[in-house]
Chain A
Amino acid sequence: MLHREFPKGASEWLDGFSRRGFLKTMGASLALAGLTGCTRMPITEIVPYVRQPENVVPGRPMFYATAFTLGGYASPILVESHLFRPTKIEGNPQHPASLGGTDVYAQASILDLYDPDRAQSITYLGDVRSWNAFTEAVRGPMSVEKSIAGGGVRILTQTVSSPTLAAQIRSYLDANPQAKWHVYEPINRDNVYEGARLAFGEVVETRYDLSKADVIVSLDADFLYAGFPGSARYTRDFAARRNPDANMNRLYVVESTPSSTGMKADHRIPVRASDIEGFARALAAITGTDNGIAGGKNEIGRSLLAIWQDLQAHKGSSVVIVGDHQPPAVHALAHTLNQMLGNVRKTVFYTDPVDANPVNRNESLHSLVEDMRAGKVDLLLILGGNPAYDAPAELELASALKSNAVGLKVFLGSHRNETAELCQWHVPEAHYLESWSDARAYDGTVSIIQPLIEPLYGGKSAHELITILAGQSGVTGHDLVQSYWQKQHAGADFDAFWRKSLHDGWIAGTSYVPRTPALKTSGFPASQSASGANYELNFRRDPSIYDGRFSNNGWLQELPKPLTKLTWDNPIMIGPAMAERLKLNFKDVAELEFNGKKVKGAVWIQAGHPDNSITVFLGYGRTRAGRVGTGTGFDVYPLRTSQTPWFADGAQLRPTGDTYQLASTQGYQTMETPNGSERPLVQERSLEEYKKEPNFAKEGEPPQELTLYKPFDYSKETYAWGMAIDLNACVGCNNCIVACQSENNIAVVGKEQTLKGRYMHWLRVDAYYNGPRENPKGFFQPVPCMQCENAPCELVCPVQATVHSSEGLNDMVYNRCVGTRYCSNNCPYKVRRFNFLLFEDWKTPQFKLMRNPDVTIRSRGVMEKCTYCVQRISEKRIDAETASVSEGKEIRIGDDLQTACQQSCPANAIVFGNLNDPNSLVNKWKRQARNYSLLGELNTRPRTTYLAEVRNSNPELEADLTTKLRTTPKA
């Protein structure tokens, strides 16, 4: 007994890596207590603080403002920190680029911090070295370089928007004028910048104000999905204008690869990517003439005419947005169009570029590789990225790196990836939550990136690496960033300025002031015309793992892509007609030949994909991503050259006869069942129909008295929780899924289990198509637990593991669950998720740090589901009750209580609150005519309801489309 109470070594409780990071930040004992909160009772000592850290109340999180960057653009965020462990990312509600919304990449980036596959030490040719050894090793070559003005030094970065880093590199270049700074990123804005050069003669950033846009024309721009700069803000502004009772906007999307933006369009015109330029030219031509044209013979012509008329009617309140991958001429044409329509400075603003060094990425990398092959490079510093994997194929960068032509190669990267393998030195890069920096948002506003935790593995930031080049030593990232801003904001109040900037998450007065650059010419040279040979091949960033950088992020790998609901793989996407001609079916493996290279991948037939066109997604087929990402999907970078970065003709597709399993989380994507009956799941009408009959979605729910039992009277309770989801606002951006996963410690199950239908997302976004397969309407429907008042699941549980609370929550008691799965069978919404195996990772120490301590880690054999974030309700309840006591009057939880999905939603499509408060926002929503219950006729009385979708169709086109819908045989 005594031995069990005091086992040997109990006081030496050591746990490899995690100690160091924590002990520095806080008292050891508390860290241990926190660490072990989720494990099986190891023996720990509890010792009081010697010095109480400021503001720390155990059990109460703290929030710090910082920023996440993607492609140089900052997403301003607030990070929730539990006892100095960052656990959750939220949008920064004060920041104009977020207003509280985030994107999937920012949400999931917290998992990257705790990724156990991150590089954990500095290595030289694979052997562990110290930071001192590294600085020693580069000191010699650096002093040699100093004598030749840095002639052999090349710095390769990703897009840099950090003013500090740019200033650091520039000052080094000033001191060593022969050194060169190259920039490369596979998902780049070369075409955007070239287009601006064509139109204005200089590189400008274009940003839009969608809150003032009545008519939006998207030319292949997926501006409502993460990765498009400013998407979070655009989504907020766009969604706010989708209210059919106010001045609703109208969205035309002319697009190639179907996107979630296209699915939200009032009119979607599918064309091949190379045909967009023709469309833009025609639009610009008739807009210029101002008095209409003959034409409109075919469908696209009619659409063109209708769009033109709509734009004419909304001069100054319309906007034309172009996708980054469209050639420069299309961008220039859009600038012309916006100018002609008088949108500039109303809905369209031009500013300085956010990018600190907006050089052409492909040219920049080309010149670097030329220098490398010519033996001109003595010291190559690669700051982040993964060029050995994602550089244009014709450069054969990997072989250039492998050869001995380059002297010393230093790679700063978070993972030991494909590029790290080819460099002698690999310095682990500190995660952005571990290091100091700064970055600009899409509107130029600078955010200070402040760390929330000491580097878990002693990683270094790019700032710190540059100091080595510059010969400085012992300068911290904090000092660098602070001293840079001290220079910008000299004065006695710097301290207050600095503290305020850190607190708010941005530096006041740094947003770019709009300019009015002069439009130079209207005769833009046509882009390389389509050769028309075989099929057009499109390269697109992957909606989940972007360019491959998130390949080892399990949340993103398992995130169902917005349209296909695919996980863990990238498909070869083609349209239905082409699939029929080639006799290809879902999951058939096809061989894709392009630029003389061949790859094989599984086919996905996407409704709405233009004919004779193929889309492939970048970022898969990594060989050194880590335990999660390695080996998923197939790599299409070998097909991509700098001449054909986005799309080109000349691809060939051949069936191979093999098949490959694709793990889609939604096997059936229409609301019409195979026997031809339509299920009323997403209710939709046109704006005109809605005005005539606003109550169209209301199904007759069975009367409440229709039961033998006396219904519980919820109106007597203080709270009755409810949720409303506006399907009109939802853009299918998937943010809520990742936010929920992060908040509720939801497990990742892997491809095998996903194939079996065992993914664990508590909240899913169903995507449905309706109409002809060539160009269907798309619908998104987020489905969390409906928290039914008459919950079918509760009745059938034999052990009372799922029971109803007096506030109307359908509570799940994990401890009681014995795992009969009867509740899930009886759930008509199928929102319950079961731990068929031990899905939660109970072992990896990093994940123990990451998890939300307010939410249980589930064991195997237990059912789980959405709880309306009951931990957040409890927290606010405690606050309200404490305040009630201290103020001597009853204080209730108000609308500041937000569920995780609601909080992260950039579209404000989800609202949650107290149904017993007549003034709550959720009640206001539910009183709307559009409010309806999903499967209401089952008398489940769901607390989660939906606001039906209304499309602002153009009557001119609508008639046409309706006849088409009637005549086209259903798919």
Chain B
Amino acid sequence: MATNTQIPVADRRVPVIAPGYTFSTITEKISNIVLSRPISLGWILGFLIVFGMMNMLMVALGYLFIKGTGIWGINIPIGWGFAIVNFVWWIGIGHAGTLISAILALLRQTWRNSINRFAEAMTLFAVACAGIFPLAHMGRPWLAYWMFPYPNTMRYWPNFRSPLVWDVFAVSTYFTISLVFWFVGLIPDLATLRDRAENPWVQRVYGLLAMGWRGSARHWHRYETAYLLLAGLATPLVLSVHTVVSFDFAVGIVPGWHTTIFPPYFVAGAIYSGFAMVLCLAIPIRAIYGLQDFITMRHLENAAKVMLATGLIVAYGYGMEAFMGWYSGNQYDSFLLWNRLHGPYRLVYAALLACNIFIPQVLWLKKFRVSTGWLWLISFIVLTGMWLERFIIVVVSLSRDFLPSSWGQYYPTKWDWMTFAGTIGLFLTAMWLFVRILPMISIFELRTLLPESQVHEAAEVKQ
């Protein structure tokens, strides 16, 4: 935990927490959202919509399991369609949470304290959405457990040369660590909710989840150690998960996949889309729940800067791909570039360049970084662009590879769209519930940002 950061008095930037708050007002404000704020009509209506979308996912998956993957638009040569596009997209979005929680914690970026909780929740939900796809896209999903090495009588063992097996480990590890990290971080706050709840049943539930947290110095000591260790564990995962996901493509020989630039370019893209999703969620939530004092413009601006930086890395990746297509002299690679620019999916590629490279450049201007409306719009555009990027990588590369005789086209079906929209529904349903039953901002970590906690530490240092 970032405990020794001092905010210089002369810092003219927007503070990470608005002045005038005390320990108790912070606790009250955040816990009241969960405990005493009445359920509004808007929340119910919104919930009905996103819950309906989630049920659409259930219908789409049910029909999929009955009929087979043929209900989607995939074919030969395009064996992977929306399912893998969505998988990579969701996994990418899931990167922001861990990055904010772990890496920024290790780097002692205190501003992350206001947004890490819901960024982590977002990560979990995104990874859960992503996890649906590798299972659903299988021809025989009931045999998915064959992906795992387990003792059996069939003399069966997974192929450890296959990136898909690496994926299984990478994604499941990532999900597990993220879940533990998130839960450990919640424990002190759950205890706070337990102590503040008036309804005995609510007390019991939070009490159970708080695992007997009393806030003793020993508890805090162990907590700090565990949190630091988990942050250390999670940090390499931020880089490894999307690296492994990128291997799904980089290990293949398909032009457009077979390139060494993919790991860094995928990680950067993941953080890019992850921060875009954080902004997409944070901006409306802080407005609805009046959290402008905790999630200040400073946070939004920082997130925008991260987006700008990672967006430039992604642009560099596109540039290198294009350069290598020309420089390699390989006719398959150079055709790939031509095909992206002039082929049947040229509009998708144009949209991708606009969404991911050109439009986000406005973030160089402070005017756009401090306008919530603009930020939200740009974040949304970036999310769209990153989805299109995965579409270009997966579908367009496969559609025209080596033998012109086997070129094909991909037309998503209504089931493809329903599944995609359905996972958005699942994600939002989870978010909808999350903001009402758990503290969406880490109460105790936010309290460390108050000047009171700094005074105490300053005293410690003097001793």
A361 located at the interface, meaning its Cβ lies under 8 Å from any Cβ of chain B in the complex: no
Residues of B within 8 A of A819 (CB): 69, 138-140
Q: Which single member of A674, A764, A767, A821 contacts B79 (CB below 8 Å)?
A: A821
Once A753-B70, A819-B69, A822-B164 are accepted as A-B contacts, the answer to whether A679 and B331 lie under 8 Å apart by CB is yes
Q: Mark B392-409, 1 if CB is under 8 A from A, else 0.
A: 000000100111111111
Roughly how many angstroms separate A796 CA and B162 CA in the complex, as a whole number?
A: 4
Residues of A within 8 A of B156 (CB): 799-800, 816
Which one, B4-12, B213-221, B247-255, is touching chain A? B247-255
* Closest Cβ–Cβ distance, residue A844 to chain B (whole Å): 19
Roughly how many angstroms separate A828 CA and B251 CA in the complex, as a whole number?
A: 14
- A757 close to B77 (CB less than 8 A): yes
Roughly how many angstroms separate A792 CA and B339 CA in the complex, as a whole number?
A: 23
Residues of A within 8 A of B380 (CB): none
B143 located at the interface, meaning its Cβ lies under 8 Å from any Cβ of chain A in the complex: yes
- A861 close to B76 (CB less than 8 A): no
* Closest Cβ–Cβ distance, residue A520 to chain B (whole Å): 50
Roughly how many angstroms separate A836 CA and B163 CA in the complex, as a whole number?
A: 22
A935 located at the interface, meaning its Cβ lies under 8 Å from any Cβ of chain B in the complex: yes
Residues of A within 8 A of B406 (CB): 666, 829-830
Roughly how many angstroms separate A935 CA and B164 CA in the complex, as a whole number?
A: 26
Residues of A within 8 A of B137 (CB): 820-821
- B70 close to A828 (CB less than 8 A): no
Which residue of chain A has the shortest Cβ distance to B144 in the bound complex? Answer: A818
* Closest Cβ–Cβ distance, residue A664 to chain B (whole Å): 11
Residues of B within 8 A of A9 (CB): none
Once A796-B251, A818-B146, A820-B137 are accepted as A-B contacts, the answer to whether A838 and B159 lie under 8 Å apart by CB is no
Q: Mark A747-769, 1 if CB is under 8 A from B, else 0.
A: 00000010011100000101110
Q: Which of B244-273 contact A (CB under 8 A)?
A: 248, 251-254
Once A677-B331, A836-B70 are accepted as A-B contacts, the answer to whether A796 and B164 lie under 8 Å apart by CB is yes
Q: Mark B65-85, 1 if CB is under 8 A from A, else 0.
A: 001111101111111100000
- B405 close to A796 (CB less than 8 A): no
Roughly how many angstroms separate A764 CA and B248 CA in the complex, as a whole number?
A: 28
Q: Which single member of A679, A768, A829, A861 contacts B69 (CB below 8 Å)?
A: A861
Which residue of chain B has the shortest Cβ distance to A796 in the bound complex? Answer: B162
Roughly how many angstroms separate A758 CA and B78 CA in the complex, as a whole number?
A: 10
Residues of B within 8 A of A836 (CB): 68-70, 74-75, 139
Residues of A within 8 A of B69 (CB): 819, 836, 861
Once A829-B402, A830-B403 are accepted as A-B contacts, the answer to whether A757 and B158 lie under 8 Å apart by CB is no
- A820 close to B68 (CB less than 8 A): no
Once A819-B69, A825-B398, A862-B139 are accepted as A-B contacts, the answer to whether A681 and B403 lie under 8 Å apart by CB is yes
- A938 close to B253 (CB less than 8 A): yes
* Closest Cβ–Cβ distance, residue B192 to chain A (whole Å): 45
- B405 close to A825 (CB less than 8 A): no
Residues of B within 8 A of A758 (CB): 70, 75-76
Main secondary structure of the interface of A (DSSP, over half): loop
Selected A-B contacts with CB under 8 Å, 27 pairs: A668-B404, A673-B331, A677-B331, A677-B334, A679-B331, A756-B411, A757-B75, A757-B409, A768-B405, A795-B162, A796-B161, A796-B164, A799-B146, A799-B156, A818-B140, A819-B140, A820-B138, A821-B139, A822-B248, A824-B79, A825-B79, A825-B252, A826-B252, A828-B403, A836-B69, A861-B68, A863-B139
B118 located at the interface, meaning its Cβ lies under 8 Å from any Cβ of chain A in the complex: no
* Closest Cβ–Cβ distance, residue A679 to chain B (whole Å): 7
B204 located at the interface, meaning its Cβ lies under 8 Å from any Cβ of chain A in the complex: no
Q: Which single member of A675, A783, A822, A833 contacts B405 (CB below 8 Å)?
A: A783
Roughly how many angstroms separate A136 CA and B159 CA in the complex, as a whole number?
A: 71
- B335 close to A834 (CB less than 8 A): no
Closest 7 CB pairs of A and B: A819-B139, A861-B139, A836-B70, A821-B79, A757-B75, A837-B70, A830-B406
Q: Which single member of B78, B138, B253, B402 contacts A861 (CB below 8 Å)?
A: B138
- A798 close to B70 (CB less than 8 A): no
B106 located at the interface, meaning its Cβ lies under 8 Å from any Cβ of chain A in the complex: no
- B403 close to A667 (CB less than 8 A): no
Q: Which of B277-331 contact A (CB under 8 A)?
A: 331
Roughly how many angstroms separate A614 CA and B172 CA in the complex, as a whole number?
A: 61
* Closest Cβ–Cβ distance, residue A629 to chain B (whole Å): 23
A235 located at the interface, meaning its Cβ lies under 8 Å from any Cβ of chain B in the complex: no
A671 located at the interface, meaning its Cβ lies under 8 Å from any Cβ of chain B in the complex: yes
- B79 close to A834 (CB less than 8 A): yes
* Closest Cβ–Cβ distance, residue B165 to chain A (whole Å): 5
Interface residues of B, Cβ cutoff 8 Å to A:
67-71, 73-80, 137-141, 143-144, 146-147, 156-159, 161-165, 168, 248, 251-254, 331, 334-335, 338-339, 342-343, 398, 401-409, 411
- A673 close to B159 (CB less than 8 A): no
Once A800-B158, A832-B76 are accepted as A-B contacts, the answer to whether A667 and B409 lie under 8 Å apart by CB is yes
A398 located at the interface, meaning its Cβ lies under 8 Å from any Cβ of chain B in the complex: no
A424 located at the interface, meaning its Cβ lies under 8 Å from any Cβ of chain B in the complex: no
For the complex with contacts A792-B253, A835-B68, 13 further pairs of A-B residues with Cβ separation under 8 Å are: A674-B339, A675-B339, A681-B403, A756-B411, A758-B75, A783-B405, A796-B161, A822-B80, A824-B76, A830-B403, A836-B74, A861-B140, A935-B403
Q: Which of A667-715 contact B (CB under 8 A)?
A: 667-671, 673-675, 677, 679, 681
- B335 close to A828 (CB less than 8 A): no
Residues of A within 8 A of B402 (CB): 679, 828-830, 935, 938
Residues of A within 8 A of B339 (CB): 674-675
A627 located at the interface, meaning its Cβ lies under 8 Å from any Cβ of chain B in the complex: no
* Closest Cβ–Cβ distance, residue B211 to chain A (whole Å): 37
Q: Which single member of A768, A783, A799, A830 contacts B147 (CB below 8 Å)?
A: A799
Q: Which of A652-674 contact B (CB under 8 A)?
A: 666-671, 673-674
A817 located at the interface, meaning its Cβ lies under 8 Å from any Cβ of chain B in the complex: yes
Which residue of chain B has the shortest Cβ distance to A830 in the bound complex? Answer: B406
Roughly how many angstroms separate A667 CA and B403 CA in the complex, as a whole number?
A: 11
A618 located at the interface, meaning its Cβ lies under 8 Å from any Cβ of chain B in the complex: no
- B74 close to A675 (CB less than 8 A): no
Q: Mark A18-47, 1 if CB is under 8 A from B, else 0.
A: 000000000000000000000000000000
Q: Which single member of A829, A860, A863 contacts B68 (CB below 8 Å)?
A: A860
Residues of B within 8 A of A824 (CB): 76-77, 79
Roughly how many angstroms separate A825 CA and B334 CA in the complex, as a whole number?
A: 20
Q: Mark A787-820, 1 if CB is under 8 A from B, else 0.
A: 0000010011111100000000000000011111
Roughly how many angstroms separate A478 CA and B71 CA in the complex, as a whole number?
A: 51
* Closest Cβ–Cβ distance, residue A260 to chain B (whole Å): 16
Which residue of chain B has the shortest Cβ distance to A860 in the bound complex? Answer: B68
Once A666-B405, A668-B404, A935-B402 are accepted as A-B contacts, the answer to whether A796 and B76 lie under 8 Å apart by CB is no
Roughly how many angstroms separate A937 CA and B168 CA in the complex, as a whole number?
A: 32
* Closest Cβ–Cβ distance, residue A763 to chain B (whole Å): 13
Roughly how many angstroms separate A920 CA and B69 CA in the complex, as a whole number?
A: 44
Residues of B within 8 A of A756 (CB): 73, 75, 411
Roughly how many angstroms separate A78 CA and B320 CA in the complex, as a whole number?
A: 60
Q: Mark A850-888, 1 if CB is under 8 A from B, else 0.
A: 000000000111110000000000000000000000000
- A679 close to B76 (CB less than 8 A): no
* Closest Cβ–Cβ distance, residue A727 to chain B (whole Å): 14
* Closest Cβ–Cβ distance, residue A903 to chain B (whole Å): 24
Once A821-B74, A830-B76, A837-B67 are accepted as A-B contacts, the answer to whether A766 and B405 lie under 8 Å apart by CB is yes
- A834 close to B139 (CB less than 8 A): yes
Roughly how many angstroms separate A681 CA and B253 CA in the complex, as a whole number?
A: 18
* Closest Cβ–Cβ distance, residue B65 to chain A (whole Å): 10
- B140 close to A862 (CB less than 8 A): yes
* Closest Cβ–Cβ distance, residue A790 to chain B (whole Å): 10
Roughly how many angstroms separate A673 CA and B331 CA in the complex, as a whole number?
A: 10
Once A798-B158, A819-B140, A935-B402 are accepted as A-B contacts, the answer to whether A826 and B253 lie under 8 Å apart by CB is yes
Roughly how many angstroms separate A792 CA and B254 CA in the complex, as a whole number?
A: 10
* Closest Cβ–Cβ distance, residue B82 to chain A (whole Å): 13
Q: Mark A764-778, 1 if CB is under 8 A from B, else 0.
A: 101110000000000
Roughly how many angstroms separate A753 CA and B75 CA in the complex, as a whole number?
A: 9
* Closest Cβ–Cβ distance, residue B189 to chain A (whole Å): 40
Residues of A within 8 A of B141 (CB): 818, 861
Once A783-B405, A795-B162, A836-B68 are accepted as A-B contacts, the answer to whether A816 and B146 lie under 8 Å apart by CB is yes
